[in-house]
Structure 1
Amino acid sequence: MLIRLLRTRLRPYAPTIALVVVLQLVQTLATLYLPTLNAGIINNGVLTGDTGYVLSTGGVMIAVTLLQILAAAAAVFFGARVAMGVGRDLRSAVFSRVQDFSVREVGRFGASSLITRTTNDVQQIQMLTVLGLTMLVAAPLMCVGGIVMAVSQDVPLAALLLIFVPLLAGVVGLIVRRMPTLFRGMQKHVDQVNRMMREQITGIRVIRAFVKDEHEQRRYADANAELMGVALRAGRLMALTMPAVVVVWELATVAVIWVGGHRIGSGELQIGSLIAFLSYLMQILMAVMMTTFLMMQVPRAAVSAERIGEVLTTESSVVTPAAPVTALSEKMRGRLDIRGADFSYPGAEEPVLRGVDLTARPGRTTAVIGSTGSGKTTLLGLVPRLFDATGGEVRVGGVDVRDLDPQVLSRTVGLVPQKPYLFSGTIASNLRYGNPDATDEELWHALDTAQAKGFVEAMAEGLDAPVAQGGSNLSGGQRQRIAIARALVVKPGIYLFDDSFSALDYATDAALRAALARETADATVVIVAQRVSTIRGADRIVVLDEGRVVGTGTHRELMRENHTYREIVLSQISEEEAA
């Protein structure tokens, strides 16, 4: 997965990568050439007293060093640009894929895991890309080139490399092979810590209300300690690498000096050649160390690549049609027909919806009511394709929603969810979320209809008043009314209100419903509500029980004929009020 992911993402940067490779070649050749020049200065200049040779060769060394520095700096610069570009592309790809997911896929991964995959996992791929571009070319070339140049200085001394290079590679290999399992566990624990942090920030009011601060701190501390434990085990392995490399390098240095000293004493080796050999030995071992650092990053990046690949290869259960219907006739635009709809969550023992039929027409209000868990919200979610029905069909404007262009469907259906969510920005930016071209007059009209004009006018900035993430600086009722106004700005043919009046007082609820009746006179309105007073005036009421339709009719008809509906009504109001 790692190789496939990198190959795909690096392809657009091929010219820059080629430049980095050339720069790495120049840097490595310059590095390999310097010890030879140094040996020449010692053997042919210092020991013979030839000052001219020392000065001329020293000038060449300075030029080669400058070339080496420039090539190294340029290679790191362009390599970092490629890595940052790959990170940007991966984040964009993951984000785009998640945007295509239905509620089912988002629930499968979890929000905290998706955030970790978009941030931490992408960073691991970025790090590997940087190390790969700056070391993958230089390390092998320096190792091979160092061996060749070392042999050119003295063959008997080079025989020592046959002992120490395999020894170092073996030690590093033993350490690296244990890392993937630890890194995989590490990323899972990062997911867990992110999930708990997200829960505790979102649920801070509940935590404070039940005085569970210490309990939540212990939970987070336990999760954090588990992450620390795995990280420490991985860190200990990584910490072993450097001492192992240093020990082998020191042993190799001692062996080379001991053997080389005897050869100098016997006249078989010059001092400059021994110094050059030691330089090449250091370069060889440095190449092995560079490879080690790269290999240490590979297991973690491989785990991250698997996790990113899971997201990128997961197909959404809500698929855009190959030949979508791009327009609906005005006569049919507001028609909604749900026929025999079934829906089951993956792995669930029982379906949430079973053979549900619902018909709604323009100019009429259809209400859906039922006990908690009866499938009301799931039923509404089928219309805008938050997820697709696992059986039956949902038709908007006479066309199956699975055959409609998503843009057409979003313009035709306006959903006000059970939990209204506002984005950070301003009142105006939230209202224009579905219709960027809406004028200020249209925004104020929508706010007036949603009974939100008063509190927005009371804000100093009006439409430009800031909104915090999630609308946390507004009350629940204010958020609901702005969410309703946001749907009104789009002017869809079908309005879906999923228990969107629960946070309103009775007076505001009544005023809002009266204003909505005028505003949506030519549109189809479907209301899900727990409060009987909100839906008793609907043209048609659908009663759900355990995912099945157990009754349809007006309020009076259902009170006479439907036991389930009668129970719900009498649990809220008296017999006289219900009449």
Structure 2
Amino acid sequence: EMVAFIAYIDRLYNPLRRLVNSSTTLTQSIASMDRVFEFMDEKYDIEDSHDSVELKRVHGDIAFNNVSFAYEKDSEIVLKNLSINVEKGETIALVGMSGGGKSTFVSLIPRFYDVTEGEILLDGKDIRSFQVRSLRDKIGMVSQDNILFSESVKSNIMLGKPEASDEEVIEAAKAANAHEFIMNLPEGYDTKVGERGVKLSGGQKQRVAIARVFLKNPPVLILDEATSALDLESEHLIQEAIEELAKDRTTFIVAHRLSTITHADRIVLIEHGRIVEIGSHDELMAAQGGYHRLFQVQQLEN
């Protein structure tokens, strides 16, 4: 009987231990769920007005008219009375020292924030008159740190167009100079990239993000430090893909390395929230102002 009792206790111990561990895991999961539901219930700062309309077709003309912006009502003005007209298919590069307001400038276009004063027009209409979802559907973004989910390469690219065919995904990857490295992965397009794309290098993640935008095929493109912190080979491949992507699209490029934006139609130098210079690379170099000084400093550093 003693032997049987000990055997029963031994058999009972592991299930009890698993039950206790499950209880701990369940408690942690409930706490995490509470945070997720709290986040899901949080109201958006940007909401559609009652008379907003769906944005269906976009030509691509964008105008900033006397735009000023502050993150909080009584806080410091970050952008001060900016005005610029951008035509369809034009590439605009935004340059300047860190903290000058370049990324804030481009974040106003998809209405991540609303302007404090002035207006932003898309094809002659205030962007606040459009439904936010439909406005953002017409804009493609590639940033320095793009979000990849713990799914396959194919699934991450298809975020740009969920109903895309395999052929469309492959064409987008080829256009982004990503097809070759994807085919060298263990399972090709079905390879899981890990949480936030941890299994891919920085350059590979950028090319997947660019392929996503190629697939989306938006009329307006925003590139925010898309080639920062990359090795020279990756930067070259991504620069090629970006120049192809920008063709026939209204494009805004935020750049730290000035050598990557000399091809832009116009370069805008922003300092302390103001536009201080605007023109092509050759025009600004000839003017020998702030842009010329920054370019010369970077050339010396290189």
Range of TM-score over shorter length: 0.7 to 0.9
Look up the match of 2:38.
94
Q: Which has the higher helix share?
A: 1
Q: What TM-score do you get using the length of structure 2 for normalisation?
A: 0.81
- The match for 1:421 is 147
1:517 Cα deviation (Å)? 3.3
Q: Does 1:378 align with 2:107?
A: no
The residue matched to 2:159 in structure 1 has which SS? coil
Q: Distance in 1 between matches of 2:100 and 2:239?
A: 24
Give the deviation of 1:93 after TM superposition: 5.7
Aligned to 1:425, what secondary structure does the other structure show? coil
Question: Which secondary structure does the structure 1 equivalent of 2:170 belong to?
Answer: helix
Counterpart secondary structure, 1:544: strand
Shift of 1:351: 1.4
Q: Which residue of 2 aligns with 1:323?
A: 51
Counterpart in 2 of 1:15?
none
Distance in 2 between residues matched to 1:408 and 1:333, nearest whole Å: 14
Per residue, is there more strand in 1 or in 2? 2
* Structure 1 residue 380, shift from structure 2 partner: 0.9
Which residue matches 1:355?
81
Alignment of 1:424-463 (within 5 A): 424-463=150-189
Asked if the contact 1:497–1:526 (Cα under 8 Å) also holds between the matched residues in 2, the reply is: yes
Residue equivalent to 1:404: 130
User: Deviations 1:451-476 (Å, cap 9, x if unpaired)?
Assistant: 22222111121111112222222222
Partner of 1:568: 294
1:541 aligns with 2:267: yes
The residue aligned with 1:155 is none
Q: Which has the higher contact order (CA 8 A, sep 6+)?
A: 2
Residues 242-266 of structure 1 deviation map (CA, whole Å, 9 limit, x = unaligned): xxxxxxxxxxxxxxxxxxxxxxxxx
Instruction: Report the TM-score, using the length of structure 1 for normalisation.
Output: 0.44
Q: CA RMSD in A?
A: 2.5
Separation in 2, partners of 1:551, 1:384: 24
Q: Which runs of 5 or more structure 1 residues have no equivalent in the other structure? A: 1-86, 102-315
Q: Deviations over 1:130-178 (max 9, x none)?
A: xxxxxxxxxxxxxxxxxxxxxxxxxxxxxxxxxxxxxxxxxxxxxxxxx
Shift of 1:324: 1.8
> Are residues 348 and 532 of structure 1, via their aligned partners in 2, closer, same or farther at CA, if it must alter by over 3 Å?
farther
> Does 1:555 pair with 2:259?
no
For residues 242 and 85 of structure 2, the distance between their equivalents in structure 1, rounded to whole angstroms, comes to 20
Letter in 2 for 1:501: T
Q: Is the 8 A contact 1:339 1:357 kept in 2?
A: yes
**Cα shift at 1:510:** 3.8
Alpha-carbon contact 1:449-1:512 (below 8 Å) kept: no
Conserved? CA contact 2:224–2:255, under 8 Å = yes
Distance in 1 (CA, whole Å) between partners of 2:225 and 2:286 is 25
Structure 2 unaligned regions, length at least 5: 1-30
Distance apart, 1:92 and its partner CA: 7.3
Distance 1:349 1:433, change over 3 A: same
Change (3 A) 1:423 1:511: closer
> Contact 1:451/1:508 (CA < 8 Å) preserved in 2?
no
Which of 219, 243, 254 is residue 528 of structure 1 equivalent to? 254
| CA–CA distance in structure 2, aligned partners of residues 479 and 359 of structure 1 | 33
> Is residue 198 of structure 2 the alignment partner of residue 476 of structure 1?
no
How many residues matched?
Answer: 271
Please give the alpha-carbon distance, in whole angstroms, between the structure 2 residues aligned to 1:380 and 1:533.
Answer: 20
Larger displacement relative to structure 2 (472-481 or 499-508) = 499-508
Q: State the shift of 1:420 in Å.
A: 1.4
Structure 2 distance, partners of 1:347, 1:405, is 24
Cα distance change on mapping 1:352 and 1:562 into 2, 3 Å = farther
1:194 corresponds in structure 2 to none
